[in-house]
A and B are shown apart, each in its own frame.
Chain A
Amino acid sequence: MTELVRLTDVTKVYQGGITGALNGVSLSIEQGEFTAVMGPSGSGKSTLLNLIAGLDRPTSGDVVVGGTNLGGLGEAGLARFRRDHVGFVFQFFHLLPNLTALENVLIPAQLKGRENAEARGRTLLERLGMVDVADRYPARLSGGQQQRVAIARALINNPTLLLADEPTGALDTHSGDQVMALLAQLHRDGQTILLVTHDAKLATRQASRVVSVVDGKIVDDARLETMERAASDVVRVRGEETSR
């Protein structure tokens, strides 16, 4: 397996923060892995995701993705990096309200200068069962539909890494299950996925590896053989964390 992401002794302290959101975290993610980062609210898991996406910069330490040290990139370089290598799925979808579903999907490709990406956009929407609503505006889509459009948008530039921050957090159970099944399918097709969630069951259902973060530190890193074992391991971690 090839290493895709490497975090070395990464610390992130926000302005005014006494303790860091992340404290000396080191982590490596292989290409093709489906990794779930799990932890309670404020544990630092979203910060971890933002650093890997190049949306934020660490206070110290190195973040290397696909061989590129993100610390060496300027704002424009980081934007290009996100556009070319990363797909990001947000909890609240963050679709642009004045663009149709298809137009939202095509935006990253168009920003990259690929003006003829419409065929791929429609293919992606078809694959996600959304082709019928391609010309609808986000306000006329359900939460689950919006998230699938967001996933299509994340995939339009064939990212080497798909990042998902609580992708089911704003969805009902049924829609959430659909989205997770979709991510699993993408993983089976070879997509590297890094999922952030606070839901242990969700983390273990589809991920092959669960990294648990508490108070800005990685407290457990479990590679799961089977679903059952993984779930118990993770529940154990959460139990320890709760008892502290």
Chain B
Amino acid sequence: MTAILVKAIADLRRRRLQAAVIFVATLLAAGTGTMALTLLSQTRDPYQTAFAAQQGAHLQVAYDSRSDPQTIAATPQLLGATASGGPYPVTSLQFQAGSRKFGLDTIGRDDPGGPVEQIRITAGHWPSSNDEIALTRSFSELNNIGVGQKIKVTSVAQEPVLTVTAEVVDIDEGSADLSSQHAWVPSSAISGLSAKNSSYYLMTYRFATDPSSAQLQADMDRLRSALPPGSVVGSVNYILIRNVFNITNQIVTSVLIAFGIFALAATAAIVANLVTGIVISAYREIGIMKAVGFTPRQVVAVFELQILIPAGAACLVGIPAGTLASQPLLANSSHALGLAYTPSFSFALDLVTLAGALLIVALAALLPAFRAGLLKPVVVIANASAPRGRSGRGLRRFAAQMRLPRPVVLGFGDAFARPARAILTLLAILIGVATVTVALGLPRSFAAINNSETNAGNVDVVVRKSPALSDADALRIINSQPETARIVAETGENFTVPGIGDPVNARVFRGDSSRLGYMVVAGRWFSGPGEVLAPKALLQDAKLKIGDHFVASAHGNAVPLVVVGEIYDINNLGHSLFMDWATLVAVEPDVTPDAYLITLTPGTAAGAYVQRVAAAQPDLLDVEPNNIGIIGPVKIIDTVLLIIAAVIALIGVGGIFNTLLLNTRERVRDTATLKAVGMSPRQVMVMVAASAGLIALVGGIIAVPAGVGLHRYLLDLVSSSAGNDTPQAAYGVFAPLELLAIPIVGVLVAIAAALIPGRWAASTNVVEVLHAE
């Protein structure tokens, strides 16, 4: 054992550069893998913990304000709930904080505790008088409205002023950047804050065990059949809220796992390449080792140890680093849930990662090491060097026919002279370039989707109206501005859709809504009453397809609908409907818009327009430039992708650097001969760079379509997580020239990576090398 260790360590000292390549590649792969596994194992726990601690509601149901509170109070028995909260009176509150205006569903609730949906106060105290209000911490932080701040309610004519007395965490709603939010006031305050048609009752239910989606849907069906039509106006369950909470980490985890596997594969390719190279360069030495008594197994052990020592050291650094890097995302989850952040990791998982990484590296090294162990000492000592292939002649001839300079021709021939090495290098490059392609494409696809969701480029200004202001007055103000080019009015309404447990929120438009820029995945935009579009999740869950007719209901009124298109919409994870104003008016004649989506005439300054409209009705209109900013979770995903792409690209560069190093060392005699017959140092460098460039070019040409395919796959995965099919426009984010440029940039990076081995080859001492023969 001592002899094996001594020999392995001595070889490591001699091959410091190779050891460094293995260290860096394994470090990056182990770090990425650990980060993915830590997130995967720890993400689900914080929500579950908080849900249990705060007695989260499995089901929340909104009842029409005309419902009998006593009937609603009896529904827990109907559903078999073990605990319940409410009925709480709720009103849609619009308020102004500073110069900004907001809308929140405000609940009348006197006690933050109780058997269901306990509200955790993180700052201040629970509202105890009618001029106090509690906001979610998520909303407070997103909008910088803290405890002590005054807000003016604009949805009622009296315009009362409330003081924020608490920031709270509610386990039963998503974060403010992804979901609408609740606020709380004493129940006695609700009547003074309610505008006409803006109130409802809220009941919360908790069951003995976590119910499944099917059970929750059955509960909703039971409620509807037991209560008068139109009683149930909305509902939300814990599964949706949990998914909304976890979606960012789920997507990040999926991306990390996919690329963690890539990183490990690239590292394995580098290791296999490296050990093959070492075996080739140490041919005579292996013969001597065996001649002095090393058994085949001991020879294998020497080579394995040379790899495992730097790989093990890399894991010792990479695994803790990966665990640390996952903590900000976990801390973010804990913070959103109102949990105290404690660094969370699994020592057992880290050990599994360590064992897995070392196993992969050891397996990658095994085949070439095994080959070394089987070499016959007499043959290798006599031959001194490994047999050389003749591959590359075709490439050389091709390059010669292209009249390329001779060093380039020779470099091309060298590139694939050892096919196995070339293939392993190609694999590392392929993974690197494909990842970069994905990292380039996904943020753009996300941006395209974001533009669709936010109507970017189609809507310049959004005007939200207080219920206290009539539709006609609001339109008069907007239409009085000469810069107003187009107005699309919008409101929301919950519909009951057959086969869907929770009422589905419909976005209802008046005006030319086809020009808002929503992405239609299939079919067409609605063109008249009764026509609707829906995302994939709703169509799938309601077992609908384009062309299908179905009857939904709003406030107990049947509404016949026909599906004319599939739309991309991530709200409520793909449970939404898009329809024309006339569809809703048929059942709710006095419906008025909540908001006006305004397109300005070209060249209009939105800022000045906003100021003028807002000044016309400062209290009753909330006028803002259309917010087209990308939401926080997408920014996190974009950032993680960028980092991962950099890591894997670095591993790819390491792969090509490693191959060039092996090639130049193995061909040192040939290089010396070439220098002896007149090859200049510059020509030697050109030769090495040409070899690198060709491998990178081939790798890049294969990798770009692979990257585009992977981009498509991941985009589908993300869309699917949010309950959608990917629209065609989100795929086509690469310009043809760009796809051509990616392999060219890969070639340039490879040539840069060739500089060190190239210089090393160029400075070959001819006399020393040829004399050593």
Contacts and interface: CB of A to CB of B under 8 A. Distances in A.
A96 B670 contact: yes
A209 B410 CA distance: 39
B403 A111 contact: no
A113 B766 CA distance: 22
A113 B405 CA distance: 7
A90 B773 CA distance: 11
A96 B673 contact: yes
Interface string A65-84: 00000000001100110111
Interface stretch (B242-250, B389-397, B519-527): B389-397
Contacts of B400: 115
Contacts of A92: 770, 773
B513 to A, nearest CB: 68
Given A83-B677, A94-B673, A96-B670, A111 B388 contact: no
Contact of A82 (B391, B417, B670, B676): B676
Given A76-B680, A79-B681, A80-B680, A111 B407 contact: yes
Contacts of A82: 675-678
Nearest to B676: A88
Interface residues of B, number: 37
Given A46-B771, A107-B406, A76 B388 contact: no
11 contacts: A56-B766, A75-B681, A79-B675, A79-B683, A98-B391, A107-B677, A111-B406, A111-B679, A113-B405, A153-B677, A157-B678
Interface in B379-430: 388-393, 396, 400, 403, 405-407, 409-410, 413-414, 417
Interface residues of A, number: 34
Contact of B403 (A90, A107, A115, A157): A115
Contacts of B678: 79-80, 82-84, 108, 111-112, 157
A162 interface: no
A113 B767 CA distance: 25
Q: From DSSP, what is the main secondary structure of chain B's interface residues?
A: helix
Given A94-B676, A97-B670, A98-B392, 11 more contacts: A55-B766, A79-B681, A82-B676, A94-B770, A96-B674, A98-B413, A98-B414, A111-B678, A115-B400, A115-B406, A153-B677
Contacts of B673: 90, 94-96
B16 interface: no
B549 interface: no
Contacts of A110: 406, 409
8 closest Cβ contacts across the A-B interface? A83-B678, A110-B406, A79-B680, A94-B673, A76-B680, A82-B678, A108-B677, A56-B767
A82 B673 CA distance: 12
Nearest to A75: B681
B666 to A, nearest CB: 11
Given A55-B767, A97-B670, A111-B406, A79 B679 contact: yes
Contacts of B675: 55, 79, 82
Nearest to A114: B406
Nearest to A50: B767
Interface string B656-674: 0000000000000110111
Contacts of B672: 94
A55 B676 contact: yes
Residue among A53, A75, A94, A113 facing the most chain B CB atoms (10 A cut-off): A94
Contacts of B390: 98, 137
Contacts of B682: 76
A111 B390 CA distance: 21
Contacts of A99: 396, 413
Interface of A: 46, 50, 53, 55-56, 75-76, 79-80, 82-84, 88, 90, 92, 94-100, 103, 107-108, 110-113, 115, 137, 153-154, 157
Interface of B: 388-393, 396, 400, 403, 405-407, 409-410, 413-414, 417, 669-670, 672-683, 762, 766-767, 770-771, 773
Nearest to B417: A98
A154 B676 CA distance: 10
Residue among B410, B675, B766 facing the most chain A CB atoms (10 A cut-off): B766
Nearest to B680: A79
A111 B405 CA distance: 8
Contacts of B680: 75-76, 79-80, 83, 111
A83 B682 CA distance: 14
Contacts of B670: 96-97
Residue among B414, B673, B682 facing the most chain A CB atoms (10 A cut-off): B673
Contact of B389 (A94, A98, A154): A98
Nearest to B403: A115
Contacts of B762: 75
Contacts of A88: 676-677
A88 B762 CA distance: 19
Contacts of A153: 677
Nearest to A94: B673
Contacts of A112: 678
A110 B771 CA distance: 26
A154 to B, nearest CB: 8
Contacts of B770: 90, 92, 94
Contacts of A53: 676
B653 to A, nearest CB: 26
Nearest to B400: A115
Nearest to A165: B770
B55 to A, nearest CB: 75
A98 B676 contact: no
Contacts of B406: 107, 110-111, 115
Residue among B390, B677, B767 facing the most chain A CB atoms (10 A cut-off): B677
Contacts of B392: 98
Contacts of A97: 388, 670
A157 B407 CA distance: 17
Given A75-B681, A76-B680, A94 B669 contact: yes
Nearest to B679: A111
A78 to B, nearest CB: 9
Contacts of A76: 680-682
A113 B409 CA distance: 12
A111 B417 CA distance: 21
Nearest to B392: A98
A112 B414 CA distance: 20
A111 B676 CA distance: 12
Residue among B388, B403, B407 facing the most chain A CB atoms (10 A cut-off): B388
A20 to B, nearest CB: 15
A42 B460 CA distance: 88
B8 to A, nearest CB: 29
Nearest to A57: B767
A220 B407 CA distance: 43
Contact of B677 (A50, A100, A103, A111): A111
A97 B407 CA distance: 16
Contacts of A96: 670, 673-674
A55 to B, nearest CB: 5
Contacts of A100: 393
A58 B675 CA distance: 18
